[in-house]
Structure 1
């Protein structure tokens, strides 16, 4: 078994026995955090980190009714978190009958418009599972189960935003398009909490739809991801009091790179646009919650090793994932905004009680 795979599999197995969320809306980050930590040489202590994190996570929903492949059965279950176990069982059956890439290829276009589901965490969980498979050269059953969980979470929390990819035109740059999209009032209330709740308020927003459709990249999808994550890193630095939504302006777009060898060129391009749509939704939903944005730090940026060490010692799942994504983007672009943004993360999140080191 490849080095580092065994503790990751142990962590994934434990995480898969828990539910998708805690507090009714916060995504279970244990599988994604464990996958990142497995690349940071924490060894067997990875399992301890996972166990500590999972003490917060709710038990899984009981199975309700088998989801069949017919359109009515699928439509009835889509977006229903109470059917989450039914969705896991459905994708487990799909993965038993076909190669995982074929399952992903078949379901990607069906789920793509709902990529904002649970703040993109269904998409993210799937992407981290695929990266683990590629990094370790393994299709271990627990890694296949993780793909079933990622796709299942995506389907169970499916959430569309206004705007249609087919109608998008290259009328503006991404920053220019963002300037046309109004922000929700800070006092706006939703029936749901967290990122999904704020995004719910955009459901019928025609100005939002027009704004997102006014941008369609004229560059390759990797270049688009690079540009979005640069904007996202600066936004994270500025929006100091709402770190959770703004970390996803880097982690979500950057995660598409984990799938670069496994999706078709068409799927990669369309996914990059739908991640832009989510990206715009975070600005629209949370921008007004920071009345006085902070300045980007001007001190010399920390080293890559120092940032990795700080993330591991801190232990928070968002710090770990954000640091990983920032370092990925820095390695590609050389823009030290990613190092500066990552250096801010530990102070903006509470440390996990039991650290992996």
Structure 2
């Protein structure tokens, strides 16, 4: 990916000069981050990926399709303040309060400063909302790091942080198993939960043990291992994605959201960020592990063609996973992106 003159450049080399991303975000910010109780609103993440990858002309048509899934932002309850934020953390009835809080914070202070203050508070709850809040934050930060810092793009970060704070969720206490030599072996060594059924919160409640992995002695090692984890989880989808084609994308997209955010964070936060990302990826892997892997075919199309197929397919998870696969960029990752197109039902 690249940027030119503050305009987002997609994988195809096309540059969005239309203001599509800001238009889409402004269109979406009247909506809440959830629907039907607690299902996530994926639209802000999907449209960022579409614009990033040269598919800006498809965004408003895609939003027209997705509009029926949107719900209004919930009503305000009680303002979140420096004095009461701890009691409001993890309270989904305060989604609008948290969003308003971060909107104020990112107007009054530089967004990087707000992010650095709140990241270590939120990262332990990375499982929040089935990892969608951290993924939304990762898309927002990527845009802010590589394009012009417009008001809608800063507001999108506030929405992502507010969603994360309201849905903040700690994982259960996890036993440490023997060390794994690399990320792929660590994911392969994650024990499947006993009952592969029910919603993700019930599944996370069954988590018991992960291999020892995800520690780093310095920030640069942490970044290298996080990059390795994203690649390993993306590759694993090619052989294991059939276990639950929608949910297993998060084993890769959640750690990639953390990786995208690292450059905006103080370096002392990189190692604990790796630990949080590993916990998220391992948790999703354990919750949706199929009984057996399956074979996959090599990808024969280019990265740009595969993402164009994902955009035409229209499923939000498929779009976001293909976006992560293109970040990884190797042949296995592209084959995994094709698998996600094949496995997930088309939306358009």
Q: So what's the TM-score if we normalise by structure 1? A: 0.84
Residues 178-197 of structure 1 aligned to structure 2 (within 5 Å): 178=187, 181-186=190-195, 189=198, 193=199, 195-197=200-202
Does 1:198 find its partner at 2:203? Answer: yes
Distance 1:185 1:308 in 2: 35
Query: Which digits, 9 at most, give the CA deviation of each residue in 1:165-189, with x for residues without a partner?
Result: xx98994334555566432123555
Distance 1:107 1:21 in 2: 21
Residues 77-156 of structure 1 aligned to structure 2 (within 5 Å): 77-136=88-147, 138-156=148-166
Does 1:341 find its partner at 2:336? Answer: yes
Q: CA deviation at 1:293?
A: 2.8
Query: Which digits, 9 at most, give the CA deviation of each residue in 1:286-331, with x for residues without a partner?
Result: 21xx23431232x45431122122112111111111111101111x
More moved, 254-263 vs 336-345:
254-263
Indicate the SS of the match to 2:288: helix
Bigger fraction of residues in strand:
2
Distance 2:190 2:327 in 1: 29
Does 1:158 find its partner at 2:157? Answer: no
CA RMSD of aligned residues (A): 2.5
Q: Answer whether contact 1:225 1:272 (CA < 8 A) is retained.
A: yes
Q: Answer whether contact 1:127 1:258 (CA < 8 A) is retained.
A: yes
Q: Answer whether contact 2:74 2:95 (CA < 8 A) is retained.
A: yes
Does 1:329 find its partner at 2:328? Answer: yes
Q: Answer whether contact 1:8 1:47 (CA < 8 A) is retained.
A: no
Q: CA deviation at 1:217?
A: 4.1
Distance 1:222 1:45 in 2: 33
Distance 1:200 1:21 in 2: 22
Q: Answer whether contact 1:302 1:343 (CA < 8 A) is retained.
A: no
Map of 1:172 onto structure 2:
180
Q: How many residues in Structure 1 have an aligned counterpart in Structure 2? A: 331
Distance 2:171 2:292 in 1: 27
Question: 5+ unaligned residues in a row in structure 2: which ranges?
Answer: 1-5, 8-15
Residues 237-276 of structure 1 aligned to structure 2 (within 5 Å): 237-239=238-240, 240-276=242-278
Question: 5+ unaligned residues in a row in structure 1: which ranges?
Answer: none
Q: Answer whether contact 2:243 2:288 (CA < 8 A) is retained.
A: no
Query: Which digits, 9 at most, give the CA deviation of each residue in 1:1-25, with x for residues without a partner?
Result: 8444611111111211111112323
Q: So what's the TM-score if we normalise by structure 2? A: 0.86
Q: Answer whether contact 1:245 1:282 (CA < 8 A) is retained.
A: yes
Q: Answer whether contact 2:134 2:164 (CA < 8 A) is retained.
A: yes
Q: Answer whether contact 1:78 1:155 (CA < 8 A) is retained.
A: yes
Map of 1:305 onto structure 2:
304
